Amino acid sequence: MKCTIQHDLPGRLRVHLCCGRMTLSQADVLEYYLLSVEGVKSVKVYDRTQDAVVVYDGTRTGVVRALAAFSFAKAEKLELVPEHTSRALNREFEDKLAVTVMRRCVSRLFLPVPITSALAVLRSVKYIREGLLALWHRKLSVAVLDGTAVAVSILRGDYNTAGSVMFMLRLGEILEEWTHKKSVADLASAMSLKVDKVWLRTEGTEVLTDVRSVRPGDRIVIRTGGMIPLDGSVVEGEAMVNQSSLTGESMPVAKRPGSPVYAGTVAEKGECVITVEKVSGSGRYDRVVRMIEESEKLKSTAEDKAARMADNLVPYTLGGTALTYLVTRNVTKMLAVLMVDFSCALKLAIPIAVLSAMRESAGYHISVKGGRFLEAVAKADTIVFDKTGTLTYATPTVAAVIPFGGQQEAEMLRLAACLEEHYPHSMANAVVEEAKHRGLSHEEYHSQVQYVVAHGISSMVEEKKVIIGSAHFVFEDEGCRVPAEEQEKFDAIPAAYSHLYLCIDGVLAAVICIHDPLRREAREAVKALHDSGFANVVMMTGDNRRTAESVAREVGVDAVYAEVLPEDKAAFIRAEKAKGHTVIMVGDGVNDSPALSEADAGIAISTGAAIAREIADITVASENLFELVILRKLSQALMGRIHGSYRFIVGFNLSLIALGVAGVLPPTTSALLHNGSTLGISLKNMTDLLDEENASQT
């Protein structure tokens, strides 16, 4: 596309696109196209002037070539723009703000006094009605303060003051709504759904397919622990589906043939086939927005305290207003007090701080579902880790396949991969990847598989019962045995590895040794967590004791519990909470779900099972455990910001009241400073809590 370079500085380029009118969606297309260019750090597109400012640290030539090759049609096909951006939202409120200011200017400069007085009376009806409605419902809210201030000015015949007060109130409403909606929109985008592959049912078989290839009417299979990636309805099977991310319901809902299912929900138990109705899952974003705005999960104790304090202070403001009038008999001073309330700032600035912290977390690949969980992380003294996929890498590998009973190594690996490929667990993925690496195709030749959470898998192959899983599952629950002549071989299996046991018709057929390498940063991350204030770092795993204790010594945890079941982890957390501890749980598997749910804040690894991510309150990326340290720092910084906001709001507004009573500030100036301070503290609370240097120190 033809462009004109307007300004050219080292690392910064401003260009004008010769494209005529540019729509908001086209501005988004250009912005995300340029952001995809190597070396580009930031882009600002101005749709009204068709200009773009590009900041880069690569070569200028690369940016110029990208602009020369750009066209809206080609860039749109790349699908670089996310489903929702904040450009349209910002434009909506920019226009509202501009219209309000222009209307006020026209009214003051060009309209005669009788007309402006009539308009003031007309506009006052809204505020007076809202105040009366609040009183009717026996609520002393901010609406009562605003309605009283406007009504007193109108009754005194001071239409100019009434108009100025209502203008400031309107500006405050627009700015408050804008900051809140933008914070919610940024957070909802950060919590958007990301699913790459689905099991597509075609002609009686299942094919692992890219989710973008799915079309309305296609059938996909959802099993225990799997996320439902698209809206649809159940046509076969039955599953208990966790819908808490959309509805806030804590209990799973039974889904049978004919039941609707929604993108972003997770099958906790069971298996079903769904017919896809919406390929984009576009309803997900709007439902997440509603969940954020309505769910009690979002509210931290600090937010609840702010809301209660704001409501409780209204009667004192009214009392102070009345006392000021009784003492001074000065209506202007009375109005100056009335125009200052604590409620707006407290009810807006504190939630904005929390929403902004959640948005900032997303920048560090940390997804937080509510303010109360950041608060829990800030004050927690105990953190519990699962081992596999958490303290160890999420991509373990198969170290050896040891056959028993005359079985062939390759055939046993093929059979194990055939069973394991349906279930989301790092050890299952290791088996599937090893079979692929060895070139072992494993077309399905078994009947329906049954997944037993935290234990293993059971199925029928050629009329023989085949199970694979933990030692507890195969030897204790299922009563399988080791071939008598191979007991010595079984005892010699290296204990340094994690083990999967494959049995056919009650007899051990193979042991698959899984190399579960410790994360390079694990020891340093645990030390950093200790330094950040965690008094007790615990590791709990279903692995054998020797392996668990070896890992525990290596990473430096305070306590280790081995060979535990999911209910044992949950029971431990309950016991610690009963002692008065605030507990965080970090895990990645289906078997961690009870503990994640029981903890004050459950943290799931992003590459783990979908059900773990769904039940967890916080999700962190799998690349680096130091993200937990960043989360801790960010949470503690948030609590510091909230307490600082309390002090500023109360102190500043008390100063305004004192100056109003002293006659220094007229009502309009009080309203201006009050609304200005509310906006200022809200904008301050929207800024990042951690600078790059602070974050990089982790």
Q: Which two tokens stand for residue 433?
A: 């990847």
Cα dihedral 621, 627, 630, 634 in deg (nearest 10) = 30
- E strands along 292-415, which residues? 366-368, 382-386, 397-403
User: What pLDDT shows up at residue 140?
Assistant: 75
Residue 447, pLDDT above cutoff 80: no
459/591: higher pLDDT: 459
* pLDDT average, residue stretch 359-378: 84
pLDDT tens readout for residues 627-676: 999 999 999 999 999 889 888 888 888 888 888 888 787 777 777 787 77
Q: How confident is the model at residue 297 (pLDDT cuts 50, 70, 90)?
A: very low
582/59: higher pLDDT: 582
232/347: higher pLDDT: 232
* pLDDT average, residue stretch 132-150: 81
Q: Which two tokens stand for residue 419?
A: 């069973």
Q: How confident is the model at residue 191 (pLDDT cuts 50, 70, 90)?
A: low
Q: How confident is the model at residue 577 (pLDDT cuts 50, 70, 90)?
A: very high
Residue type, 287: R
Q: How confident is the model at residue 296 (pLDDT cuts 50, 70, 90)?
A: very low
What does the alpha-carbon distance between residue 287 and residue 172 come to, in Å, rounded to a whole number? 27
User: Is the CA virtual torsion 53, 56, 59, 62 positive or negative?
Assistant: negative
Q: Is 329 left (phi over 0), alpha (psi -120 to 50) or beta?
A: left
Strands 618-620 and 601-605: what pairing? Answer: parallel
Lowest mean pLDDT among 396-400, 498-502, 677-681: 677-681
What does the alpha-carbon distance between residue 338 and residue 333 come to, in Å, rounded to a whole number? 9
Lowest mean pLDDT among 93-107, 268-282, 441-455: 441-455
SS3 305: helix
Lowest mean pLDDT among 127-136, 232-241, 293-302, 545-554: 293-302
Taking a C-beta distance cutoff of 8 angstroms, is the pair 289, 188 a contact?
Answer: yes
Q: How confident is the model at residue 90 (pLDDT cuts 50, 70, 90)?
A: confident
- E strands along 257-415, which residues? 260-261, 266-278, 366-368, 382-386, 397-403
* pLDDT average, residue stretch 442-466: 68
What does the alpha-carbon distance between residue 261 and residue 276 come to, in Å, rounded to a whole number? 9
Q: Is residue 576 within a helix (H) or strand (E), and if so which, with residue range? A: helix 566-578
> Percentage of the chain surpassing pLDDT 90?
22
Lowest mean pLDDT among 288-302, 353-367, 638-652: 288-302
Residue that has been written with the tokens 């579902």 in this structure = 369
Mean pLDDT, rounded, of the chain = 81
Q: How confident is the model at residue 403 (pLDDT cuts 50, 70, 90)?
A: very high
Residue 285, pLDDT above cutoff 60: no
What does the alpha-carbon distance between residue 693 and residue 445 come to, in Å, rounded to a whole number? 55
* pLDDT average, residue stretch 241-255: 70
Q: Is residue 199 within a helix (H) or strand (E), and if so which, with residue range? A: strand 197-202
Lowest mean pLDDT among 120-129, 196-205, 286-295: 286-295
User: What pLDDT shows up at residue 404?
Assistant: 94
SS3 280: coil
pLDDT tens readout for residues 91-129: 888 888 889 889 888 888 888 989 989 999 999 999 899
